[in-house]
Structure 1
Amino acid sequence: MKIFQHTNLIKQLTIREVNGRYKGSYLGVLWSFITPILMLTIYTFVFSVIFEARWGVHNTNKVEFAMLLFCGLVAFNIFAEIVSRAPGLIINNANYVKKVVFPLEILPIVAVNSALVHGLIGIFVLLIALIIFMGTLHWTILFIPLVLLPLILLSLGLAWLLSSLGVFLRDIGQVISIAVTGFLFLSPIFYPISSIPVSLQYLFYINPISYVVEDMRRVVVWGQQPDWFWLLIGIVIGLLVLLAGFFWFEKSKKTFSDVL
């Protein structure tokens, strides 16, 4: 695949992307640590203190609630960042379209890498919090890369698809923004699936993000192994979406210059 010929370029663009996000701010990359901590604090206060939400009927441990919430947010934020940025990737880099030799297909990969860097920082913060507040760190955290694999494959496939569609349908960015917010509340981030009425649970079981979020909690907080059956299904689904997205991008990129 031609993509593997551009690994150095992908690396350079990823570094520039990560460094450029907070360029000009006093704290710089430290915001990547500060932001998830602040959001965790706010969400935990709102849901566990104001709304008195609990993870299950008998669970009153607010610290564990915070860790479970953070697990879901870390996984979801990786997906949300990639998908939200995807529709504008080509439009915002229109100068590259005119360059015949520039491999446009690497732009979604750079976006995925950038999101993963910030996701890894969030995971690092989570693991430190587990040690400090719960005094434990399970060996099952070794499964984190495997648990996130279906999400990464799915996100990259969608990034190729949406970045291409964004060239032709400028309104798609607004649609995706609303859809991502919907997915946030239709994924078991702030509550367990068991708390949802049985008649509506199917909405969560057809949502692939739900399985990733649940597996993150298993391997990080509860020290359990992931759902191996789902992992196999999730990787297959992710690969299919990735291949479909890449195929569409390669077919449509020949007309980008005509539209832009």
Structure 2
Amino acid sequence: MNTSRQLINNPFSSIWKNRDLIIQFAKRDILTRYKGSNLGMIWSFLQPLLMLVVYTFVFSVVFKSKWGETGTSKTEFALILFCGMAAYNIFAEVISRSPNLIKDNANYVKKVIFPLEIMPIYVVISAVFNALISFIILVLGLIIFMDVFHWTIIFLPLVLLPLVLLTIGLSWIFSSLGVYLRDINYLIGILVSALMFLSPIFYSLNSVPEDFRQFFYFNPISYVVEDLRGIFVYGAYPNWTWLLSGTIMGFIIMFIGYYWFMKTKKGFSDVL
């Protein structure tokens, strides 16, 4: 019984045990992201704003997309779009970096006492930090342009929890596979790009034909995106059914990813 309990607690005990090291790596990752640039950390605000302008122009002006049956103003369209982008960017940033995560830090592989399993954790923290900046911009935009502020944004940690757990688990798997399968980063790049358009980021889920809508419900990012729009823009409660099932699924994938990583990391030094 004690052995089983130890196995179950392993991911969390490892994270807690190495929390100071994780924070240190996360800070370094955040600070070095724009190191050497003239504007520095200001880019963490400018980058999402500039991408938002580009996507808004392409979809609302060029393609003349509208949100829902009645349509929305370009400003409202941009803010709604921003919710989806912020959630997707957490997943995309971490998963895109995962295949090269261990290879780019090969010097730590030879160090027996270094906990390699913390690397996906600090990358997730860095991605969430950048997303929080986007959410701050979103809140300011809602207040300034739409005169809207909903108290339901307090549910943000709950809404993001399934996505964070899922991302951590997949990052452990892909960072491990990236050591042994050098071409996986190309496949991941294609899948991440495809997922952006297969998630209801640039369009409402209600606009998807009913015959195909069921396939979108297999995409966990769809639920997170919809819930973010609900709590930020519409003042709605999250989908409690999804939060429960999504969190359970996230924990399962996280545990699978952790044990896969711990089992395969023994051969990292031989390959690298």
Bin the TM-score by the shorter chain.
over 0.9
- CA distance in structure 2 between the aligned counterparts of 1:4 and 1:56, rounded to whole angstroms: 44
Question: Equivalent residue for 1:136?
Answer: 148
Question: Equivalent residue for 2:252?
Answer: 240
Q: Any runs of at least 4 consecutive aligned residues in structure 1 with deviations exceeding 3 A, and if so which?
A: none
Query: Aligned to 1:208, which of 216, 220, 233?
Result: 220
RMSD over equivalenced CA pairs, Å: 0.8
In the TM superposition, what is the alpha-carbon distance from 1:58 to its structure 2 partner? 0.8
Q: Is the 8 A contact 1:83 1:158 kept in 2?
A: yes
Query: Aligned to 2:102, which of 85, 90, 105?
Result: 90
Q: TM-score, normalised by structure 1?
A: 0.98
1:148 aligns with 2:160: yes
In the TM superposition, what is the alpha-carbon distance from 1:198 to its structure 2 partner? 1.5
Q: Is the 8 A contact 1:186 1:203 kept in 2?
A: no
- CA distance in structure 2 between the aligned counterparts of 1:32 and 1:258, rounded to whole angstroms: 38
1:250 aligns with 2:265: no
| Equivalent residue letter for 2:35 | K
| Equivalent residue letter for 2:47 | T
1:73 aligns with 2:88: no
Q: TM-score, normalised by structure 2?
A: 0.94
Count of residues in correspondence between the two structures: 260
- CA distance in structure 1 between the aligned counterparts of 2:123 and 2:14, rounded to whole angstroms: 18
Report SS of the residue matched to 1:159.
Answer: helix
Question: Equivalent residue for 1:163?
Answer: 175
In the TM superposition, what is the alpha-carbon distance from 1:158 to its structure 2 partner? 0.4
Question: Equivalent residue for 1:63?
Answer: 75
Question: Equivalent residue for 1:174?
Answer: 186
Alignment of 1:183-202 (within 5 A): 183-202=195-214
Report SS of the residue matched to 2:116.
Answer: coil
In the TM superposition, what is the alpha-carbon distance from 1:157 to its structure 2 partner? 0.3
Query: Aligned to 1:35, which of 16, 22, 47?
Result: 47
Structure 2: gaps of 5 or more residues: 1-12
Alignment of 1:5-20 (within 5 A): 5-20=17-32
In the TM superposition, what is the alpha-carbon distance from 1:117 to its structure 2 partner? 0.8
- CA distance in structure 2 between the aligned counterparts of 1:107 and 1:244, rounded to whole angstroms: 16
In the TM superposition, what is the alpha-carbon distance from 1:50 to its structure 2 partner? 1.4
